[in-house]
Chain A
Amino acid sequence: MNSFASASHAQSTALPVSRLGTPTEDLYPRLFEAILEQRIDEDSRFTEHSLQAMFGAGRANVRRVLTQLSHEQIVVLRANHRPRVAAPDRELVRQTLHARRLAENTLVRLACQRPQPDDLKCLRTLIEREKRAVEQDRRGAAIRLSGEFHLQLARMAGNLPLAHFLRSLVPLTSLAIARGQSPTRSCCAWQEHLALVEVVERGDACKAGMLVKRHLDHLEQTLLGQSFNIVL
């Protein structure tokens, strides 16, 4: 019946069955959530090899995920050094949030121009998952999914390089949230995301831009605990 049932006996067939989903997409959230929950932090000593053992993943897979996390500024990779988890300082977080305001203001407005039912559904599913993670007190997952919401919204805008730029900013914000003491629900609340989806669905670019700005201002206040004065 189930085509996965035979996986363990499948060595002899030409095309063995892989695990559900692609391995990278499987390992990435697991590793990132371990970092967000500070089971792996900037003082942790780990290697590609120990990660392979810890997560039961292959080397190529571990490498790929580490490369992705290094693009996202979560992991620092240097030749002849162990990989380590980044420790963003306040200044970097502040600059990251500035850059996010710029990028997301454009992205969300573009997303309003062509909201597709499938994309909106995808956003709502992410909110559902985020909400459930908050309720189950899975802090790492909640923070990661909250970031994924912003990235999914960015994909809807249809500007690949700009969405890619945001991809280098959002996870770093997630890490900053994780390192902070504040409870998950006060940081990047799914309620705010839900309000945003409704506005995007209506195609109200002006309101959407405003909501995103408020959302990020709120986040900055929680993370850096002070009002800010940026001149745009």
Chain B
Amino acid sequence: MITTSTVVNSVVEKLRAALARGQWRSGEMLPGQRELAEQLGISRPSLREAVIVLETLGLVRSMPGKGVVVLDAQLSDNPSHDSAVAGASLEDVLQLRYTLEPFIVGLVAQSISSKEVGQLRLTLMDMREALEAGDSEAGVSAYIAFHEELFTLTSNPIFQSVVQQTSNALKQSAEVLRNSPEHLAERLEENEAVVRAIRSKNSAQASAEMRRHILREGQRMGVELNIPEDNLPT
């Protein structure tokens, strides 16, 4: 016979996983005791113990006479957004970038004004300064700023949600970026090639340079990038 604590632990894990999956969101009530115990195939006393553990973990709160309410453990207004980033691997993010950014720079190349080219080049200058000063942290910031600037230049509201997401992911992977200051020079060079193509309004070239940059970025981070073949026909 399994001891109670093993049962309770496994139930706690099951419920935690269900909460993490978003089966119940914050503010919602867990199903009734009898129903839930039945679903999990355990006794009600074991369920009550598991709920106490979850309560201690701050995931739920027991409201006497009402039930068990799920708490907002994500500390965010928009949990779906955060969890999308939190669950993302470097590979996911690079895949996402490879899917969207070549297209985005292609769009930018078609519509950019000379003033906007100037703005882009400023972020590149920040990167160069950081490189020369050996300040890898500033280099990472400038790289993220360059990335955000590109999205802003599309003036396409559709990409606004995704730029936030990829920027956050870049910030999270900043550790990886920062660990490789020797790569900053390469990164800068590749981004300069993107901007050169944008300046000469060559969409196809800009897309190709961005694809090359993201593939190289993957190699530098040691991520094997799973790119479905002929993904972006030109």
Asked, given contacts A11-B65, A60-B27, whether A17 binds B161 with beta carbons under 8 Å apart, the answer is: no
* CB-CB nearest in chain A for B166: A161
CB proximity to B under 8 Å, residues A110-142? 110, 112-113
**Count of CB-CB pairs between chains A and B under 8 Å:** 147
CB proximity to A under 8 Å, residues B147-171? 156-159, 161-162, 165-166, 169
Asked, given contacts A64-B25, A68-B80, A162-B95, whether A205 binds B229 with beta carbons under 8 Å apart, the answer is: yes
**Cα-based distance from A11 to B54 in the complex (angstroms):** 22
Chain B residues with CB under 8 Å of A109's CB are 228-229, 231
**Cα-based distance from A23 to B26 in the complex (angstroms):** 11
Q: What 0/1 readout, one digit per residue, does chain A (52-71) give for beta carbons within 8 Å of chain B? A: 00000000110010011001
CB proximity to A under 8 Å, residues B4-41? 23-25, 27-36, 38
**Cα-based distance from A102 to B159 in the complex (angstroms):** 12
B67 within 8 A of partner (CB): yes
Of A3, A4, A113, A169, most B-chain CB atoms within 10 Å: A3
Chain A residues with CB under 8 Å of B204's CB are 231
Chain B residues with CB under 8 Å of A103's CB are 99-100
B215 to chain A, nearest CB (A): 14
Q: Are B169 and A102 in contact (CB under 8 A)?
A: no
Selected contact of B99 from candidates A15, A24, A102, A160, CB within 8 Å: A102
B73 within 8 A of partner (CB): no
**Cα-based distance from A105 to B31 in the complex (angstroms):** 39
B115 within 8 A of partner (CB): no
Chain B residues with CB under 8 Å of A160's CB are 83-84, 87-88, 92
B229 to chain A, nearest CB (A): 7
Q: Are B230 and A206 in contact (CB under 8 A)?
A: yes
**Cα-based distance from A168 to B158 in the complex (angstroms):** 8
B184 within 8 A of partner (CB): no
Q: Are B30 and A15 in contact (CB under 8 A)?
A: yes
A29 to chain B, nearest CB (A): 15
Q: Are A232 and B38 in contact (CB under 8 A)?
A: no
Chain B residues with CB under 8 Å of A152's CB are none
A222 within 8 A of partner (CB): no
Chain B residues with CB under 8 Å of A231's CB are 106, 110, 203-204
Asked, given contacts A17-B35, A164-B80, A206-B230, whether A92 binds B157 with beta carbons under 8 Å apart, the answer is: yes
Q: Are A15 and B67 in contact (CB under 8 A)?
A: yes
Selected contact of A205 from candidates B95, B103, B159, B228, CB within 8 Å: B228
Chain A residues with CB under 8 Å of B30's CB are 15, 18
B contact residues, range = 35 or more
Q: Are A15 and B36 in contact (CB under 8 A)?
A: yes
**Cα-based distance from A95 to B85 in the complex (angstroms):** 24
CB proximity to B under 8 Å, residues A1-33? 3-4, 7, 10-18, 22-24
B232 within 8 A of partner (CB): yes
Q: Are B162 and A14 in contact (CB under 8 A)?
A: no
CB proximity to B under 8 Å, residues A62-97? 64, 67-68, 71, 92, 95-96
B223 within 8 A of partner (CB): no
B57 within 8 A of partner (CB): no
Asked, given contacts A3-B38, A13-B33, A165-B161, whether A64 binds B92 with beta carbons under 8 Å apart, the answer is: no
Selected contact of A113 from candidates B110, B161, B226, B234, CB within 8 Å: B226
List 16 extra interface pairs beyond A15-B67, A113-B226, A161-B96, CB under 8 A: A11-B65, A14-B67, A18-B32, A68-B80, A92-B158, A96-B158, A103-B100, A105-B232, A106-B95, A113-B228, A165-B162, A165-B165, A167-B80, A206-B230, A231-B110, A231-B203
Chain A interface residues toward B at CB < 8 A = 3-4, 7, 10-18, 22-24, 60-61, 64, 67-68, 71, 92, 95-96, 98-99, 102-103, 105-106, 109-110, 112-113, 159-165, 167-169, 205-206, 209, 231-232
9 contacts between A and B (CB under 8 A): A14-B62, A24-B28, A106-B95, A110-B226, A162-B99, A163-B84, A164-B80, A164-B84, A206-B230
